[in-house]
Structure 1
Amino acid sequence: MTITFYEYPKCSTCQKAKKWLKDQNIDFQAVHIVENPPTKAEIREAADKAGLELKKLFNTSGMKYRELGLKDKLKDASEEDMLEWLASDGMLIKRPMAISGDKATVGFKEDTYEKTWKR
């Protein structure tokens, strides 16, 4: 099983997640989330597999999120709007985002990674 691992290389959370995967000898394919952002379909798939609503996929602490005033816009946004925003800019997506088979995780919490990715 190889995990598709969307990351921003300078992100400390992504670095911690990557180290955890390496320490567990888990194969992953790193994808630069800004240079190659996931498509709307991949974002929808990650949300479904992680059991999260789309709102939870936003990087709410990012500058881009604040610049676009998304906090207020999200309340009334349609799923299509949210997918459109998330797919338009990798910096809007909470990271790292990892997908493989029927599983996905968004963000990094060691216990979640333990449950989801440990063999």
Structure 2
Amino acid sequence: MTVTIYHNPDCGTSRNTLAMIRASGEEPEIIEYLKTPPTREKLIELIAAAGLTPRKLLRQKDTPYDTLGLGEDKWSDDELVDFMLGHPILINRPLVVTDKGVRLCRPSEVVLEILPNPRFGVFVKEDGERVDTDAA
């Protein structure tokens, strides 16, 4: 199975998701999307495959969301995609793609829904939270 993670190594949720993928026995393709943003077509494809809208993929915390006025309802989906392409930090993360689907993995254990081997025992997140993948 192919697993791809759109990853930000500065994000704890993204690091936890990557660690869960690896703990399941998979070595994913890692795309640091701040360095290598997706194309417009790929971003639209990911949004649709995850069952999201561009607005639901927007990240607010520690981004120019407020400065750009993105909380206002005046922006079309195409315009929101333009903002994400112009400011990739606005793309919420991590997005994970497998043969089983695409998920925005917030919280990180959402990745268990699409991993080929989602049961691999207890996983301890960076903050000490324990996730029993066998009970998931």
TM-score, reference length from structure 1: 0.86
Q: How does 1:18-97 map onto structure 2 within 5 Å?
A: 18-72=18-72, 75-97=73-95
User: 1:102, CA displacement in angstroms?
Assistant: 6.2
Unaligned ranges ≥5, structure 1: none
Matched, 1:117 2:115: yes
Q: May I ask how many residue pairs the two structures share in their alignment?
A: 117
Tell me, what secondary structure is at the counterpart of 1:42? helix
User: 1:92, CA displacement in angstroms?
Assistant: 0.5
| % identical aligned pairs | 21
- Structure with a larger share of its residues in helix: 1
Deviations 1:45-88 (A, max 9, x none): 1111111111111012233222222112xx12112101111122
Q: Structure 2: how far apart are the matches of 1:118 and 1:112?
A: 13
Q: Structure 2: how far apart are the matches of 1:45 and 1:61?
A: 24
Provide the aligned C-alpha RMSD in A. Answer: 1.7
What amino acid is the match of 2:74? Answer: D
What amino acid is the match of 1:19? Answer: A
TM-score, reference length from structure 2: 0.76
Residue pair 2:98, 2:115 contacting (<8 A) in 1 also: no
Task: Compare 63-72 and 35-44 and name the one that shifted more.
Answer: 63-72
Tell me, what secondary structure is at the counterpart of 2:102? strand
Unaligned ranges ≥5, structure 2: 118-136
User: 1:106, CA displacement in angstroms?
Assistant: 1.4
Matched, 1:107 2:105: yes
Tell me, what secondary structure is at the counterpart of 2:16? helix
